A and B are shown apart, each in its own frame.
Chain A
Amino acid sequence: MAADAIQQYHVQPDALRKLCSLPADFAKRSAENTAESHIGQQRAIDAIRFGIEMQRDGYNIYVLGPIGSNRHDLVKSLVAEHAKTRGVPPDWCYVNNFSNPERPQSLRFPAGQGREFRDDMRNLIGEMQLAIPAAFEGDDYRNQLRAIEEDTKKQVEEQWASLNERAAEEGIGVLQTPTGYVLAPLVDGKVIGDKEFNKLPEEKRKEIEAAIERLSEDLQERVEMMPKLRKDHRERVKALNEEVTEHAVSVQLADLIDKYKSMPRVAAYLDDVQDDIIRNAHDFQEAETPALPFLGRDSEHLYGQYEVNLVVDNASADRAPAVYEANPNYPNIIGRIEHRAEMGTLMTDFRLVRSGALLQANGGYLILDTRRMLSRPFVWEALKQSLFAKQVSIETPGESWGFVSTTTLKPEPIPLDVTIILIGERWLYYLLSHYDIEFSSLFKVAADLDDDLERSDDNVEQYARLVVRKAQARELLPLNTAAVQRVIEERARYAEDSERLSMHMSSLDDLIEQADYWARQRNSAEIDAGDIAKAVSERRRRLGRMQSRVIDAIKRETLLIDTSGECVGQVNGLSVTDLGDFRYGHPVRITATTRIGTGDVVDIEREVELGGAIHSKGMMILSSALSARYAPDLPLSLRGSVVFEQSYGGVEGDSASVAELSALLSSLSRLPIRQCIAVTGSINQLGRVQAIGGVNEKVEGFYDVCRERGLDGSHGVIIPQDNVKHLMLREDIVDAVRRDAFHIFAVRHIDEAISILTGVDAGERAEDGSFPEDSVNALVERQLVEYATARKSFAREAVQDDEV
């Protein structure tokens, strides 16, 4: 193929890197204008706004976007904006449930009044701690108590005295043993024994026995009466204690009941408090620290039961809450019940109930990172359960899942009205949508962030302003116009498209921060284009160890890559190695061999299971393209094999299919391929060359190898025409192309690629069905016909041999 014919496929230098051109006074003007923070994300912004304004069940939001897309800032700013328009939600408290302490009751207060109520109860407790003991230590109480005790004592002694009197009348003594009483006959005031007793006349003995019998019954009755006397005494003392306690607390409680009478549940709770204090008045007398911890309730416990556990406090809020929980584990989301160790036992009560982010965000918005949330056990199910039930039940995961059966608290659920905003990657959204049937009914709003935006003049202007504003916000050196232009170009490169700009904001931040560093290193007052370029190249250098090793291996001919000369069945393909944060391209030798066969093209990578599914698909397509294009009337009697030489890892993608087909065509045509040219591109069954990914890295990878060996003007890369718009090559490559030291060829069809690679015209099929003499296609077809003929004759000979 003549050089001037090849010329038509050259990509012009201007198309290799689309430069940015901003007005000269851009930097000055941009400082005066505010920039839109989230340009190019209008669809996602509208979706988020829709979700946060749609106050209906299930309208929770999933924000789809990659890490670094500024998704958190976007969500937080939109939520903060809308939170101002919503009222401050109520406060929530947990208080003791006196009839069932294991189920603390919740109380709702208008914002700010929860704290006030808590303080009121604290004051009440403080007053009780003074007033109640004082009342019990007062003379009035002591006198009344003494009167009751004396009255009871008198009753007991009366019983005793009357018994003794009656016994004495009958000549019987009442003796007290440590555990009871013994009735004994007396003679002259002295207890007599059996000898004296037996000396008495029989009649007297019978009288004594009868008297003792009667008195025993009487004594028994009196003994049985004693518990009742004790009970009566207790009740009288209790009544007195209650009266004293009621008097001591009624004034303070009456004020509180009056203050909170408009809140029926609170008023009812205060009534319960009063009843409980009065009912347990006796405890307040002994509300001191017991000698041993387990011997009684100390004052902390006694008065603590009237404390208020303020779990949601919106006293200082002026808008609806917007909570971001960075560590979305179960307790942090749902809440937890804490315990304290007492005498080796874990104890809890309503005061140790702690709210989670759901309650903190109640009445507003809760922002969660999906990946983190899903990686924490039990959280997702608990969150869904709360959303479905529209209430938060604070319980341990063990309790929630029924693993634990020990007695613990079960606080009254609190009604939930919150908008959940999950932020996560797209694949997580699709995964949840596909596998969790409840997901779509709970998260009805998807806000899909764009990865990039069109590089229109208007967008470039806005984007450039955003760059300037980011530098200001981060207190970086100002960027001059050239620097901003360079940033725009790098953002197009990051987007792998000269016509689009990446919206990956964290990488933009990194770029300008690093450029700031380099500008400061040279004591500059501003960041210029060189600093941006330096930031890019230094980053590449920091991450480029593997790339250097590959180039070095090629240079030392450990990895065999020819960049000069010609070879049949051998072509330079291009591959990209992705290291996550960095990727680079490098050439890879692809060889093909052909011989007579049954129409198979063997992909050695696939045979040894090193080829991925897409690579295998590409191989099958090129095999099909081969059979469709040549000798259509004959069976494809070819056995070809294709391999990535010195490839010891997996191969994926179909971007080498143009190279693979070129190697096969070279092998069939026996036309050598120029090794100074590398080729990339995928192919369809009709031979059409299609776009591939990583075109910039691939071109740069081959360029770097050729540069190491010395550019002589012959080197170049064939890329799909459809990839030209994606080119944002390094400036040194653009310069090399401008100097004719390196070439980029853009092709649309395999014929164009093979023509460039072999230097021989591929040849178009004429109306008579033939290809031009000595064209690549003619040679390929001739070879395939020969294979078919030979195969046919082999088959005939085999039949004759069988007949013989």
Chain B
Amino acid sequence: MTKSEMRLRVIIAVTETTPVARLWETALRLLRETPADLAALYLQDDRWYRVASLPFTREILRRGGIPVDFTQQRAEQVSRERAARVREAIGKLAAESKLEPVFESLSETDAARLRKFIGSRENIFVAPSFISTRPIFSMLSEMNCRIELVEAEEEQERPAYTLP
């Protein structure tokens, strides 16, 4: 076991609807208390794949025109775009604190990859409180991970219309 593998790791666990800033504050506090590495774990929302698996799902375009099929490929694009958006938000916060967290993205139902990511290291997960109802919470609990829940509600999507 190398020295770095033994070092404590603070992991921010975020979804596409997580208010990242609030979690970031908690993670910084932990880092100040204990020397640790920092990582960000993006939990992919599988709903895009689920909805794409339905034969009648169409995407109604904001610019108008004829609705188009919402395919698995399109679901993948949307998922990636959301992950990128979250990564960008974390990247900005990290740059302000002069930190360089590792970013990992995986499906919250993919236990094998989650286990591999956690490994044998000591991890502290900083996660939004609403995650406690999600399957990943029980998985992390089973893996004896320490979880620091931050009181937060899922961010509601506002109409994506901009005024002129």
Give the interface of A toward B (CB within 8 A). Answer: 149, 152-153, 156-157, 159-160, 175-185, 190-197, 209, 212-213, 216, 219-220, 223-224, 226-227, 229-230, 233-234, 237
Question: Which of chain A's residues have a CB closer than 8 A to the CB of B58?
Answer: 182-183, 216
- Return 11 A-B CB contacts under 8 Å, by A number: A177-B70, A180-B67, A181-B59, A181-B62, A182-B51, A184-B51, A194-B50, A194-B53, A212-B56, A220-B60, A226-B62
Bound-state Cα–Cα, A185 to B50, Å: 10
Question: Which of chain A's residues have a CB closer than 8 A to the CB of B132?
Answer: none
Choose among A152, A175, A237 the residue that contacts B51 (Cβ–Cβ < 8 A): A175
Question: Which of chain B's residues have a CB closer than 8 A to the CB of A159?
Answer: 159
Give the interface of B toward A (CB within 8 A). Answer: 47-51, 53-64, 67, 70, 74, 78, 81, 157-161, 163-164
Question: Which of chain B's residues have a CB closer than 8 A to the CB of A156?
Answer: 159, 161
Given contact pairs A181-B59, A194-B50, enumerate 15 new A-B contacts (beta carbons under 8 Å).
A157-B159, A160-B159, A180-B61, A180-B67, A183-B57, A183-B60, A190-B47, A191-B47, A194-B54, A195-B53, A220-B67, A223-B61, A226-B62, A230-B163, A230-B164
Choose among B64, B74, B158, B163 the residue that contacts A223 (Cβ–Cβ < 8 A): B64
> From A185, which residue of chain B is reached at the shortest CB distance?
B54
> From B51, which residue of chain A is reached at the shortest CB distance?
A184
A182-B70, A191-B50, A193-B50 known; A176 vs B60 contact (CB < 8 Å): no
Question: Which of chain B's residues have a CB closer than 8 A to the CB of A230?
Answer: 161, 163-164
A179-B59, A181-B60, A212-B56 known; A237 vs B47 contact (CB < 8 Å): no
> From A224, which residue of chain B is reached at the shortest CB distance?
B64
Question: Which of chain A's residues have a CB closer than 8 A to the CB of B49?
Answer: 193
A180-B59, A185-B54 known; A233 vs B47 contact (CB < 8 Å): no
Bound-state Cα–Cα, A190 to B135, Å: 13
A176-B160, A178-B78, A216-B67 known; A191 vs B51 contact (CB < 8 Å): yes
Question: Which of chain B's residues have a CB closer than 8 A to the CB of A149?
Answer: 163
Bound-state Cα–Cα, A183 to B60, Å: 9
A153-B163, A178-B78, A179-B61 known; A209 vs B51 contact (CB < 8 Å): no
Most buried by A among B53, B58, B159, B161: B159
Question: Which of chain A's residues have a CB closer than 8 A to the CB of B158?
Answer: 157, 160
State whether B60 touches A219 (Cβ < 8 A): yes
Bound-state Cα–Cα, A192 to B56, Å: 13
Closest approach, in angstroms, between the C-beta of A151 and any C-beta of chain B? Answer: 10
Closest approach, in angstroms, between the C-beta of A639 and any C-beta of chain B? Answer: 108
State whether B60 touches A175 (Cβ < 8 A): no
> From A178, which residue of chain B is reached at the shortest CB distance?
B81
Bound-state Cα–Cα, A178 to B78, Å: 7
Bound-state Cα–Cα, A192 to B58, Å: 15
Question: Which of chain A's residues have a CB closer than 8 A to the CB of B50?
Answer: 184, 191-194, 196
> From B57, which residue of chain A is reached at the shortest CB distance?
A182
State whether B59 touches A233 (Cβ < 8 A): no
Closest approach, in angstroms, between the C-beta of A419 and any C-beta of chain B? Answer: 60
Choose among B60, B67, B81, B164 the residue that contacts A234 (Cβ–Cβ < 8 A): B164
Bound-state Cα–Cα, A655 to B123, Å: 127
> From B61, which residue of chain A is reached at the shortest CB distance?
A180
State whether A177 touches B78 (Cβ < 8 A): yes
A216-B58, A223-B60, A234-B164 known; A193 vs B159 contact (CB < 8 Å): no
Bound-state Cα–Cα, A156 to B163, Å: 10
Bound-state Cα–Cα, A220 to B159, Å: 14
Bound-state Cα–Cα, A326 to B59, Å: 76
Question: Which of chain B's residues have a CB closer than 8 A to the CB of A152?
Answer: 163
Bound-state Cα–Cα, A175 to B164, Å: 23
Bound-state Cα–Cα, A157 to B159, Å: 7
Most buried by B among A178, A190, A212, A229: A178
Bound-state Cα–Cα, A153 to B157, Å: 15
Question: Which of chain A's residues have a CB closer than 8 A to the CB of B51?
Answer: 175, 182, 184, 191, 193
State whether A209 touches B56 (Cβ < 8 A): yes
Bound-state Cα–Cα, A192 to B50, Å: 6
A178-B78, A216-B67 known; A194 vs B55 contact (CB < 8 Å): yes
Closest approach, in angstroms, between the C-beta of B119 and any C-beta of chain A? Answer: 30
State whether A179 touches B163 (Cβ < 8 A): no
Closest approach, in angstroms, between the C-beta of B157 and any C-beta of chain A? Answer: 5
Question: Which of chain B's residues have a CB closer than 8 A to the CB of A178?
Answer: 78, 81
State whether B62 touches A179 (Cβ < 8 A): yes
Bound-state Cα–Cα, A212 to B55, Å: 12
Question: Which of chain B's residues have a CB closer than 8 A to the CB of A223?
Answer: 60-62, 64
Closest approach, in angstroms, between the C-beta of B44 and any C-beta of chain A? Answer: 13
Question: Which of chain A's residues have a CB closer than 8 A to the CB of B157?
Answer: 175-176
Question: Which of chain B's residues have a CB closer than 8 A to the CB of A153?
Answer: 163
Question: Which of chain B's residues have a CB closer than 8 A to the CB of A234?
Answer: 164
* Those 5 A-B pairs whose CB atoms lie nearest each other, nearest first: A193-B50, A194-B53, A191-B47, A184-B51, A160-B159
Most buried by B among A160, A190, A237: A160
Closest approach, in angstroms, between the C-beta of A730 and any C-beta of chain B? Answer: 97
Bound-state Cα–Cα, A149 to B64, Å: 23
Choose among B47, B54, B61 the residue that contacts A175 (Cβ–Cβ < 8 A): B47
> From A220, which residue of chain B is reached at the shortest CB distance?
B60
Question: Which of chain B's residues have a CB closer than 8 A to the CB of A177?
Answer: 59, 70, 74, 78
Question: Which of chain A's residues have a CB closer than 8 A to the CB of B160?
Answer: 176
State whether B54 touches A197 (Cβ < 8 A): yes
Most buried by A among B60, B81, B158, B164: B60
Most buried by A among B54, B55, B59, B81: B54
State whether A226 touches B53 (Cβ < 8 A): no
Question: Which of chain B's residues have a CB closer than 8 A to the CB of A226?
Answer: 62, 161
Closest approach, in angstroms, between the C-beta of B133 and any C-beta of chain A? Answer: 10
Question: Which of chain A's residues have a CB closer than 8 A to the CB of B63?
Answer: 179-180
Question: Which of chain A's residues have a CB closer than 8 A to the CB of B61?
Answer: 179-180, 223
Bound-state Cα–Cα, A196 to B54, Å: 10
> From A163, which residue of chain B is reached at the shortest CB distance?
B159
Closest approach, in angstroms, between the C-beta of B76 and any C-beta of chain A? Answer: 12
State whether A182 touches B53 (Cβ < 8 A): no
Closest approach, in angstroms, between the C-beta of B81 and any C-beta of chain A? Answer: 5
Closest approach, in angstroms, between the C-beta of A744 and any C-beta of chain B? Answer: 105
Most buried by B among A223, A230, A234: A223
Bound-state Cα–Cα, A209 to B159, Å: 24
Most buried by B among A157, A160, A177, A181: A177
Bound-state Cα–Cα, A209 to B56, Å: 7
Bound-state Cα–Cα, A156 to B53, Å: 30
Closest approach, in angstroms, between the C-beta of B16 and any C-beta of chain A? Answer: 11
Bound-state Cα–Cα, A171 to B87, Å: 32
> From B85, which residue of chain A is reached at the shortest CB distance?
A178
Question: Which of chain B's residues have a CB closer than 8 A to the CB of A209?
Answer: 56
State whether B57 touches A237 (Cβ < 8 A): no
Bound-state Cα–Cα, A372 to B155, Å: 83
Question: Which of chain B's residues have a CB closer than 8 A to the CB of A220?
Answer: 60, 67
Question: Which of chain A's residues have a CB closer than 8 A to the CB of B59?
Answer: 177, 179-182
Closest approach, in angstroms, between the C-beta of A322 and any C-beta of chain B? Answer: 60
Bound-state Cα–Cα, A425 to B116, Å: 106
> From B156, which residue of chain A is reached at the shortest CB distance?
A164
Question: Which of chain A's residues have a CB closer than 8 A to the CB of B164?
Answer: 230, 233-234, 237
Question: Which of chain B's residues have a CB closer than 8 A to the CB of A191?
Answer: 47, 50-51
A179-B59, A180-B59 known; A233 vs B163 contact (CB < 8 Å): yes
Question: Which of chain B's residues have a CB closer than 8 A to the CB of A193?
Answer: 49-51, 53-54
Closest approach, in angstroms, between the C-beta of B39 and any C-beta of chain A? Answer: 26
Closest approach, in angstroms, between the C-beta of A780 and any C-beta of chain B? Answer: 115
Bound-state Cα–Cα, A181 to B47, Å: 14
Bound-state Cα–Cα, A194 to B56, Å: 10
Question: Which of chain A's residues have a CB closer than 8 A to the CB of B48?
Answer: 175
Bound-state Cα–Cα, A160 to B161, Å: 10
Question: Which of chain A's residues have a CB closer than 8 A to the CB of B54?
Answer: 184-185, 193-194, 197
> From B74, which residue of chain A is reached at the shortest CB distance?
A177
Question: Which of chain B's residues have a CB closer than 8 A to the CB of A227?
Answer: 64
Question: Which of chain A's residues have a CB closer than 8 A to the CB of B67?
Answer: 180, 216, 220
